[in-house]
Structure 1
Amino acid sequence: MTNLPTPSHARNMRIIGHSDQGGREDGVQIMVHRGHAYIGHIFSKGFSVLDVSDPKNIKPVNYIPAPFNTWSLHLQTHDDLLLVVHAKDMFAQPELEDEKNYYKGKADFHAKDAVHEQNWSAGLVVYDIASPANPRQIGFMPVKGGGLHRCWYTGGRWAYASALIDGFSDYILITIDMSDPTKPVEAGRFWLPGMNVAAGETANWPAEFGRYGLHHPIVSGDIAYCSWRDACLVVVDVADRTNPKLITHKTWAPPLGGGTHNALPLPNRELLVVVDETVLDNREDGEKPIWIFDNRVKSNPISISTLPEPDDRDYLAVGGHFGPHNVHENRPGSFVSEDLIFATYQNAGVRVYDIRNKFQPKEVGALVPPPPARMVDPRPNRVKVLHSADVFVDENRLIYSTDFNAGLYIMEYTG
């Protein structure tokens, strides 16, 4: 084991492993399954497989490239299946190198007519991972449009995803029938009024609103808790997977910044943890809290508190993105807790929160790795700072965190 990087701040946490992911240090979503980490890349395209059975000696064992002009940011594992999204590589487009254009809807790359040429792969790829280090493609569900962004699958017949489909203004919710994993099939769609441009719907939100599109759903029972970016929280009844129906739509942007990224139900406590993602440097996109919602009445979730922001230094002065990105989503087979919340805070690293008192959550752990050794991000004018992206906590309570440029960190919470 090589010498581990020295964190710039640590409290009740320590680094136990680090990997450059075989020279592809950029990562977004991570799944840890049967001693292997599956990591979707944002700039290196494709995804990597790492043997993490010994967290102090991480071994890159495979890399699956994405097709031309395609990215595979997000993925899911369950039993012998790995689901990987295919979508147009948005950041490869010159007009989207500026994050403001991507996140604030200033570039017309969403709604397209149904006849445009598609020089990228768009849809859902299914791999057999009975041999964990050697994913073998067994199925593909194509979509006509930009592709999928992030999916949710915890086994069984149904998967769920955000999909940018021709004729719609941004990403919508689709349900996917996985009864035959070699032939996944779209089963149903849900969108907010105004998004179906091809059907003549017109936007009922301000032009400067930003991204009125689904980031992804998290499904508990027959309810999909959907993070709809600047349209905030959308709760959908999916009891009939072929015909999802709206339960409620809650918005708080403006006055706050929006950018909702996760809506994590804690069913035993009837709470929701809702994360608003910071997407622009120096908090130009406004305040982005991590919320606690009372979810006893599914048609009327109510915000009751927010998690405290990191205050161990002035992270706005550090530069880059300061604010939440993601939380550990309590997937089956991982560490599941309704009292501890694990979050990535981009330039402020990984944070652990105790929410046993739902009205007064508190930070109980923190680890801020050092800035990246090199920049993988090819976009101009990016600052060389930490960008902790995704977090996964395994059943042994080991914490795995990806970064846009700094590789994989495995951490331990000692609190």
Structure 2
Amino acid sequence: MSAVQLPVPDFARDMRLIGYCDQGGRPDGVQLMVHRGYAYVGHMFSKGFSVIDVRDPRRPTPANYVAAPPETWNIHLQAHDDLLLVINAKDMFAATEFQDERAYYCGALGEKVGTASRSSASRHWRAGLAVYDISKPDAPREIGFMPVEGGGIHRVWYTGGRWAYASALLDGFTDYIFITIDMDDPRRPVEAGRYWIPGMHAAGGETPGWDRTRRFGLHHPIVHGDTAYCAWRDAGMVILDVAERSAPKLITHRNWSPPFGGGTHNCLPLPDRDLLAVLDEAVLDNQADGEKFIWMFDIREPSNPVSIATLPSPSEIDYAAKPGHFGPHNLHENRPGSFVSSEIVVATYQNAGVRVFDIRDPYRPAEIAALVPPTPDRLVDSRQNRPLVIQSADVFVDANGIIYSTDYNGGLYVMEVESWR
């Protein structure tokens, strides 16, 4: 069999590209899960999600594509055992009001979508959580759906068992809030509990106590045991006690924006070391929203997390001057069955590609490997004035240390760290 011609990275240090796939002509991707030899990729602009056969990671091959309902996006998903959970929400980036991306990241999303002050019963999108049977990995079959009244679900966390957790834009709320989902019967998942920052429940007469230009909305939680670590965008980090799933309780809320630029996207617990890695997403071009960081927190006392370091920003060229977003976007989240480490952090940095960090000394994190994919062949992003540039979006590391990364326009990149071979 002839060798596969791989793209040539713009930059690589102690990493190499071993596989590539254009995802069946739909090269835009957001969240991905690698599960039982298949990658499940949610699309940002091509709608729906794709299934890629990665049993040979050097020859990833499109295996299936599942279309989204009209005006709906499926950008985030979770896989565990024979289940795939896929979010359904308003296709925000296809909407007229969000063609300028700054409008999406500034102010209360529910007010712009219209769900904060009125019912979304007349919506034209599908809102909720879809459950697929993936016992045949390349043939997802929808078996259940949990509808929600509102804009829909943004991102979900599920690692098996009875409980899932999600961010949901619901009627009457200014932005995404935290919900627990009872998965006891996967064919009939139901909401079990919810938490929001006081001031978000507009229909309940609450009024925000923060600057109205800020996005006080949950991106998503990561749950370990009975604790949910919630990335709440411009509201920073919210830690919840979810021992009683129907009544989540606040442990602590920490916000460092301002003076920093907000956009908190991931809160990754490293419980064996009492550490928490917290990533702030860069959401505007050329650092117009300020320099964003991945923070290290000491959480020995959960009610009083303390920031002890930031991971170093890529600096081999002036990425802030390069077109597009420069800064963190997503972390590998140590899902059961994947690469799990409390000493290595893997992150996407958008126009600076994929970065690997050594945090054995949490006070002095160091970058140990990097790979920046080349400029994509074409622009899939349909929004106005978007540059043709690499924007590495999500990253997943399998149990063998193989790294998979999606891009808004560039397809699926498969890579490995040289020193791990």
TM-score scaled by length of structure 2: 0.97
Q: Secondary structure, in 3 states, of the residue corresponding to 1:318?
A: coil
Could you say which residue in structure 2 is the equivalent of 1:111? 116
Could you say which residue in structure 2 is the equivalent of 1:89? 91
Q: Secondary structure, in 3 states, of the residue corresponding to 1:286?
A: coil
Deviation at 1:118, TM superposition (A): 1.4
Partner Cα separation in structure 1 for residue 120 and residue 382 of structure 2: 31
Residue number among 89, 100, 103 corresponding to 2:102 in the alignment: 100
Partner Cα separation in structure 1 for residue 212 and residue 32 of structure 2: 34
Partner Cα separation in structure 2 for residue 296 and residue 398 of structure 1: 31
**Structure 2: which 5+ runs fail to align?**
none
CA offsets, 1:20-62, max 9 Å, x none? 0000000000000000000000001100000000111111010
Change in 2 beyond 3 A, CA 1:115/1:134? closer
Could you say which residue in structure 2 is the equivalent of 1:232? 236
Partner Cα separation in structure 1 for residue 123 and residue 322 of structure 2: 40
Partner Cα separation in structure 1 for residue 308 and residue 4 of structure 2: 45
For 1:240-251, what aligned pairs fall within 5 Å after superposition?
240-251=244-255
Tell me, yes or no, if the aligned pair for 2:120 and 2:149 is still in contact at 8 Å: no
In structure 1, what residue type is equivalent to 2:225?
G
Deviation at 1:112, TM superposition (A): 3.7
Q: Secondary structure, in 3 states, of the residue corresponding to 2:188?
A: coil
Change in 2 beyond 3 A, CA 1:115/1:272? closer
Could you say which residue in structure 2 is the equivalent of 1:153? 158
Deviation at 1:133, TM superposition (A): 0.1
Deviation at 1:114, TM superposition (A): 2.3
CA offsets, 1:110-138, max 9 Å, x none? 51412641110000000000000000110
**Structure 1: which 5+ runs fail to align?**
none
CA offsets, 1:225-266, max 9 Å, x none? 000000010001100000001110000000000100000000
Tell me, yes or no, if the aligned pair for 2:38 and 2:53 is still in contact at 8 Å: yes
Partner Cα separation in structure 2 for residue 259 and residue 115 of structure 1: 26
For 1:50-61, what aligned pairs fall within 5 Å after superposition?
50-61=52-63
Partner Cα separation in structure 1 for residue 202 and residue 33 of structure 2: 35
Tell me, yes or no, if the aligned pair for 2:230 and 2:267 is still in contact at 8 Å: yes
Tell me, yes or no, if the aligned pair for 1:100 and 1:106 is still in contact at 8 Å: no
Tell me, yes or no, if the aligned pair for 2:28 and 2:45 is still in contact at 8 Å: yes
Could you say which residue in structure 2 is the equivalent of 1:169? 174
Tell me, yes or no, if the aligned pair for 1:121 and 1:147 is still in contact at 8 Å: yes
In structure 2, what residue type is equivalent to 1:296?
R
Could you say which residue in structure 2 is the equivalent of 1:345? 349
CA offsets, 1:128-185, max 9 Å, x none? 0000000011000000000000000000000000000000000000000000000001
Could you say which residue in structure 1 is the equivalent of 2:75? 73
Tell me, yes or no, if the aligned pair for 1:353 and 1:363 is still in contact at 8 Å: yes
Could you say which residue in structure 2 is the equivalent of 1:23? 25
CA offsets, 1:47-104, max 9 Å, x none? 0000000111111010000000000000000000000000000111112011110001
In structure 2, what residue type is equivalent to 1:28?
V
Tell me, yes or no, if the aligned pair for 1:48 and 1:62 is still in contact at 8 Å: yes
Deviation at 1:379, TM superposition (A): 1.0
Could you say which residue in structure 2 is the equivalent of 1:13? 15
Residue number among 118, 125, 141 corresponding to 2:146 in the alignment: 141
In structure 2, what residue type is equivalent to 1:92?
A
Q: Secondary structure, in 3 states, of the residue corresponding to 2:328?
A: strand
Tell me, yes or no, if the aligned pair for 1:294 and 1:304 is still in contact at 8 Å: yes
Could you say which residue in structure 2 is the equivalent of 1:313? 317
Establish whether residue 303 from structure 1 lines up as the match of residue 296 from structure 2. Answer: no
Residue number among 254, 257, 277 corresponding to 1:253 in the alignment: 257
Could you say which residue in structure 2 is the equivalent of 1:195? 200
Could you say which residue in structure 1 is the equivalent of 2:222? 218
Partner Cα separation in structure 1 for residue 92 and residue 325 of structure 2: 19
In structure 1, what residue type is equivalent to 2:203?
A
Establish whether residue 322 from structure 1 lines up as the match of residue 317 from structure 2. Answer: no
Q: Secondary structure, in 3 states, of the residue corresponding to 2:320?
A: helix
Establish whether residue 2 from structure 1 lines up as the match of residue 7 from structure 2. Answer: no
Could you say which residue in structure 2 is the equivalent of 1:45? 47
Tell me, yes or no, if the aligned pair for 2:108 and 2:175 is still in contact at 8 Å: no
In structure 2, what residue type is equivalent to 1:183?
R
Change in 2 beyond 3 A, CA 1:411/1:304? same
Partner Cα separation in structure 2 for residue 317 and residue 299 of structure 1: 39
Change in 2 beyond 3 A, CA 1:136/1:276? same
Aligned length: 414
Change in 2 beyond 3 A, CA 1:106/1:263? closer
Q: Secondary structure, in 3 states, of the residue corresponding to 1:315?
A: coil
Deviation at 1:106, TM superposition (A): 7.1
Q: Secondary structure, in 3 states, of the residue corresponding to 1:100?
A: helix
CA offsets, 1:273-297, max 9 Å, x none? 0000000001111121100000100
Identity %: 64
Could you say which residue in structure 1 is the equivalent of 2:280? 276
Partner Cα separation in structure 2 for residue 190 and residue 28 of structure 1: 26
TM-score scaled by length of structure 1: 0.99
Partner Cα separation in structure 2 for residue 186 and residue 375 of structure 1: 38
CA offsets, 1:342-376, max 9 Å, x none? 00000000000000000000000000010111000
Partner Cα separation in structure 2 for residue 319 and residue 382 of structure 1: 9
Tell me, yes or no, if the aligned pair for 2:94 and 2:382 is still in contact at 8 Å: no
